[in-house]
């Protein structure tokens, strides 16, 4: 039986802080991921400094209370982390949130999250790519965040099965909603997610819910990442968060060989890539090679990914631990 170490209240890892060897973080009281339509819930969205809860901060939270499919209440607040110094430039460019805004209007983190949890109460929460938000809230909140959740990105793959990309900005254009000045602010993203959720319901029907199914994924030409292909293309799960996503790895990956990592991506319906290009969706950085943006020390691929992000490309830089969360996420 493997040893487990408590790294925060209710959060366990299979290695100690000293080891730092990445393993899947076990969030014992985390809620279940659901895929269905409901009429009473709370929409949530957060803005962060980066994508790994261990090294990143929450800058903003927003929630919209929905009852009988109608907006009844809202919550939004900027957060000033306890160790705050400045907002990275790429975050300001993406969201409009500046260092001055956090210094002037940011509220203490734990106090704000406690109020936010009180606003959400026992509701099922709905968000776009909401699993990342849930992990941050669970890890940063100082208490277990055990609400079940519904991911509109997950449902979008069923509502628009032929589409390659289902980012909020893609869905905004697809649905025909005008662009906001700051589309990546937490409250405006939550409002857009409400429209997405309603549109998905109109396409799939009120009684739709997720049923496990496999999608026959056509083999691609042998051109990327040492010609890795899915082991069994007929058993690729279209509900995987890596389905049709282009993934690059950099740094030392502790949990797998590079070939094994590529194979995992391919078996989940994703496309492993050798290097960063205009189609890359994820750059996975080995935990032992990861440096937060403010500390510098970026690899060549990290620098190129940051350049693409500044240019507006939807590319996410995640650590190996976040990648493990994605491939191991349990779904009901």
* Nearest of 171, 215, 178, 214 to residue 194 by alpha carbon: 171
DSSP string, 61-100: EEEEEEETTEEEEEEEEEEE-TT-----HHHHHHH---HH
Q: Which two tokens stand for residue 139?
A: 């890890």
- pLDDT reported for residue 237: 81
Record: fold of 33-204 = Nucleotidyltransferase; domain 5 (3.30.420)
**Class of domain 214-328 as given by CATH:** alpha beta
269 within 8 A of 215, measured Cβ to Cβ:
yes
Question: Nearest CA to 239 among 127, 153, 325, 128?
Answer: 153
pLDDT at 252: 82
Question: What is the pLDDT, as a whole number, of residue 74?
Answer: 97
What's the pLDDT score for residue 182?
A: 55
d(CA 332, CA 53): 24
pLDDT at 202: 96
Residue 19, pLDDT score:
46
pLDDT of residue 121: 96
Distance CA 13, CA 4 (A): 6
CA separation for the pair 220, 227 (Å, rounded): 9
- The answer to whether 270 and 247 have CB atoms below 8 angstroms apart is yes
Helix (H, G, I), strand (E, B) or coil at 115: helix
* Paired tokens of 36: 């269905």
> In this structure, what is the dihedral angle of CA atoms 167, 247, 304, 91, given to the nearest 10 degrees?
40
Task: Output the pLDDT for position 331.
Answer: 47
Structural contact between residues 48 and 38, judged by C-beta atoms closer than 8 angstroms:
no
What DSSP state is assigned to residue 317? E
Count other C-beta atoms under 10 Å from residue 72's C-beta: 10
Q: Structural domain boundaries of the chain?
A: 1-28, 33-204, 214-328
Give the rounded distance of the alpha carbon of 247 from its chain centre: 15
Per-residue pLDDT of the chain (332 residues; tens, 9 = 90+): 344 444 444 444 444 444 445 556 778 889 999 999 999 999 999 999 988 888 899 999 999 999 999 999 999 999 999 889 999 998 998 899 999 999 999 999 999 999 999 999 999 999 999 999 999 999 998 667 899 999 999 999 999 999 988 988 899 899 987 666 555 789 999 999 999 999 999 999 999 988 766 555 555 444 446 567 888 888 888 888 899 999 999 888 888 888 889 999 999 999 999 889 999 999 999 865 555 543 445 678 888 988 888 888 889 989 898 999 888 764 44
Give the number of other CB atoms < 10 A from CB of residue 62. Answer: 22
Region of 122 please: left (phi>0), alpha (psi -120 to 50) or beta: alpha
Name every residue whose Cβ is closer than 8 Å to that of residue 110 and which is 6 or more positions away in sequence: 141, 142
Q: Which stretches of the chain are assigned E, i.e. beta strand? A: 5-8, 11-13, 26-27, 33-34, 41-48, 58-67, 70-80, 107-108, 125-127, 149-151, 214-215, 236-237, 246-250, 271-273, 282-285, 316-319
């Amino acid at each position: 039986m493997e040893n487990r170490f408590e790294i925060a209240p209710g959060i366990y890892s299979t290695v100690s802080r000293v080891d730092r060897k990445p393993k899947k973080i076990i969030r014992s009281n985390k809620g279940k991921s659901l895929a269905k339509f409901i009429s009473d819930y709370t929409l949530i969205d957060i803005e962060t400094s980066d994508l790994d809860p261990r090294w990143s901060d929450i800058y903003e939270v927003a929630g919209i209370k929905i009852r009988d499919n109608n907006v009844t209440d809202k919550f939004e607040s900027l957060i000033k982390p306890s160790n705050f110094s400045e907002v990275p430039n790429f975050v300001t460019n993406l969201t409009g949130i500046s260092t001055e805004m956090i210094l002037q209007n940011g509220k203490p983190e734990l106090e704000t999250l406690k109020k936010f949890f009180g606003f959400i109460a026992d509701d099922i929460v709905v968000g776009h790519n909401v699993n990342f938000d849930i992990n941050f809230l669970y890890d940063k909140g100082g208490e277990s965040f055990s609400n079940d959740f519904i991911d509109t990105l997950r449902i979008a793959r069923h509502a628009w099965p032929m589409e390659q990309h289902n980012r909020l900005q893609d869905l905004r254009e697809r649905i025909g909603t005008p662009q906001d000045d700051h589309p990546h602010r937490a409250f405006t993203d939550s409002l857009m997610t409400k429209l997405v959720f309603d549109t998905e319901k109109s396409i799939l029907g009120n009684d739709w819910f997720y049923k496990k199914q496999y999608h026959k994924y056509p083999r691609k030409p042998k051109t990327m990442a040492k010609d890795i292909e899915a082991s069994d293309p007929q058993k690729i799960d279209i509900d995987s968060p890596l389905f049709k996503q282009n993934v690059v790895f950099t740094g030392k990956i502790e949990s797998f060989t590079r070939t094994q990592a590529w194979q995992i991506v391919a078996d989940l319906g994703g496309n492993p890539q050798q290097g960063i290009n205009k189609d890359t969706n994820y750059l996975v950085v080995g935990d032992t090679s990861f440096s937060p943006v403010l500390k510098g020390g970026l690899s060549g691929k990290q620098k190129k990914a940051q350049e693409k992000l500044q240019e507006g490309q939807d590319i996410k830089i995640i650590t190996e631990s976040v990648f493990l969360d994605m491939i191991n996420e349990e779904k009901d």
